[in-house]
Amino acid sequence: MSTQAMPLSVQIVCELLFVNQLARDKLSKVLPSGMELSQFLVLLHIAQLDEETGPARLADAFNVTRGAMSNTLSRLERQGLITVRPDPLDARRKFIGLSAAGRATLDDVFGGIRPAFEPILENTAPNDLDMSLALLADIREGLETRR
């Protein structure tokens, strides 16, 4: 079946999957030794929240079990990339934040990935990039609300 015969929604999903695979490949090459992509994504999510959050909220955001998220958070904490502090009002709860080392790690990864993408983006009009980013954000938000 040619891509023109595919519904637009399928064409979009296919392109997103191909871009996802290529981006993950590039990203995995610049991650610090021993860091898994899943750990990087959790760090990135915490940084984008710009506030402390809880393990349950993170597990929900990544659609994983609390046990799986706990494992990832334990690894990040051992590496000094996140801070974990107890809730002073409820000892059963924890607050997760990004440490200075976590921020530095993100900055290093961003610096490492930039050379792979800048030549591509330099050939695209800024307005097109803005519209594309807005569309991708809309797609992500729409998928998040429908899971």
- Is residue 105 over pLDDT 80? yes
pLDDT at 59: 96
pLDDT at 78: 96
Q: CA-to-CA distance for 42 and 27, rounded, in angstroms?
A: 14
pLDDT tier for residue 81 given thresholds of 50, 70 and 90:
very high
pLDDT at 136: 93
**What are the pLDDT digits (tens) for 113-142?**
999 989 989 999 999 999 999 999 999 999
pLDDT tier for residue 5 given thresholds of 50, 70 and 90:
confident
Mean pLDDT for all residues in the chain: 93
> Which uninterrupted H or E stretch holds 11?
helix 8-28
pLDDT at 87: 87
Cβ neighbors of 105 (< 8 A, separation 6 or more) are 32, 35, 43, 81
- Is residue 2 over pLDDT 80? no
Asked whether 105 and 43 are in contact (CB, 8 A), the reply is yes
